[in-house]
Amino acid sequence: MAEDKELKRGLSLPMAVFIIIGMVIGSSIWVSPATELSKIGPGMFISYIVAVIPAVFVAYIVAYIGSAFPVAGGTYVVASRLTGGFGGFMTVWLVILAVGAALSFLAATFGLFLAQVIGIPEQFELIFVILIAVLVLIVFCLLNWIKIHLSGLIELILTIVGDILVMIIFIIAAIPHFSPSNFDPIFPNGIPPVLFGALTFFFAYVGFTLIIDVAGEVKNPKRNIPLALIISLPILTLLYALQSLMVAGIHPWDDPEPVETVIEIIIYQGILPHEMTVFITILIAIAIASTLHPSYMAYSRDILMAGRDQMFPKVFGKVHKKYKTPIPALILLLCVGVAILLIFIPLLGPEYGIGTTAVLLSAVVATVVLILQIPLCIAVFVLPKKFPKWHEKSGFKPSIRSLKVMGIIGAIVSFIFLLLLFTEPDAGLIIALIVFPFAGVGAIVYLIRKAVLKKRGINIKEIMKTLPESVSLDEEGPGKAEA
Report how far residue 109's alpha carbon sits from residue 119's, in angstroms, rounded to the nearest whole number. Answer: 15
Considering 107-116, 294-303, 358-367, the range whose residues carry the highest mean pLDDT is 294-303
Mean pLDDT, residues 127-142 taken together: 93
pLDDT computed for residue 272 by the predictor = 85
Task: Write out the H or E segment, with its range, that includes residue 4.
Answer: strand 3-4
Beta bridge partners of 185: none
CA nearest to 76, candidates 210, 254, 232:
210
pLDDT of 389-414, one tens digit each? 888 888 888 888 998 999 999 899 88
CA dihedral 394, 396, 400, 404 (to 10 degrees): -120
45 near 241, Cβ under 8 Å? yes
pLDDT computed for residue 292 by the predictor = 81
pLDDT computed for residue 48 by the predictor = 92
Residue 158 vs residue 224, higher pLDDT: 224
Residue 423 vs residue 223, higher pLDDT: 223
* DSSP sequence for 281-349: HHHHHHHHHHHHHHHHHHHHHHHHHHHHTTSS-GGGG-EETTT---HHHHHHHHHHHHHHHHHHHHHHH
pLDDT computed for residue 424 by the predictor = 72
205-232 in b/e burial notation, b at 16+ Cβ within 10 A? bbbbbbbbbbbbbbbbbbebbbbbbebb
pLDDT computed for residue 464 by the predictor = 85
pLDDT computed for residue 6 by the predictor = 55
Task: Write out the H or E segment, with its range, that includes residue 3.
Answer: strand 3-4
Residue 408 vs residue 290, higher pLDDT: 408
pLDDT computed for residue 49 by the predictor = 93
pLDDT at 483 over 70: no
Report how far residue 212's alpha carbon sits from residue 380's, in angstroms, rounded to the nearest whole number. Answer: 14
pLDDT computed for residue 28 by the predictor = 73
pLDDT band at 69 (very low <50, low <70, confident <90, very high): confident
pLDDT computed for residue 278 by the predictor = 82
pLDDT computed for residue 476 by the predictor = 41
CA nearest to 213, candidates 79, 109, 93, 379:
79
Q: How many helices (H) and strands (E) does the chain have?
A: 19, 2
pLDDT at 358 over 80: no
253 near 188, Cβ under 8 Å? yes
pLDDT band at 132 (very low <50, low <70, confident <90, very high): very high
pLDDT of 261-285, one tens digit each? 787 788 788 888 888 888 887 887 7
CA nearest to 23, candidates 230, 232, 217:
232
pLDDT at 5 over 60: no
pLDDT at 342 over 50: yes
Rounded to the nearest 5°, which phi and psi values hold at 3?
-95, 145
**CATH for the stretch 3-463:** 1.20.1740.10
What integer best gives the mean pLDDT of the chain?
84
Residues ≥6 apart with Cβ < 8 Å to 479: 470, 471, 472, 473
Mean pLDDT, residues 248-266 taken together: 83
Considering 113-127, 286-300, 400-414, the range whose residues carry the highest mean pLDDT is 400-414
pLDDT at 239 over 90: yes
The pTM score is 0.81
Omega of the bond leading into 193 within 30 degrees of 0 (cis): no
pLDDT at 3 over 50: no
pLDDT at 450 over 50: yes
Give the per-residue SS3 of 368-400.
Answer: HHHHHHHHHHHHHHCHHHHCHHHHHCCCCCCCH
The amino acid present at 135, given as its one-letter code, is L
pLDDT at 2 over 70: no
Q: Could you tell me the CA-to-CA distances from 2 to 56, 128, 318, 471 in Å, in that order? A: 41, 37, 8, 20
pLDDT band at 248 (very low <50, low <70, confident <90, very high): very high
Considering 278-292, 332-346, 369-383, 425-439, the range whose residues carry the highest mean pLDDT is 332-346
pLDDT band at 469 (very low <50, low <70, confident <90, very high): low
pLDDT computed for residue 349 by the predictor = 81
pLDDT at 482 over 50: no
Mean pLDDT lowest among 54-58, 213-217, 465-469 = 465-469
CA nearest to 421, candidates 242, 180, 206:
206
pLDDT band at 479 (very low <50, low <70, confident <90, very high): very low
pLDDT computed for residue 472 by the predictor = 43
Work out the end-to-end distance of the chain between its first and last CA atoms, rounded to an integer number of angstroms. 32
Q: CB atoms < 10 A from the CB of 68, how many? A: 26
Report how far residue 302's alpha carbon sits from residue 95's, in angstroms, rounded to the nearest whole number. Answer: 8
pLDDT computed for residue 322 by the predictor = 80
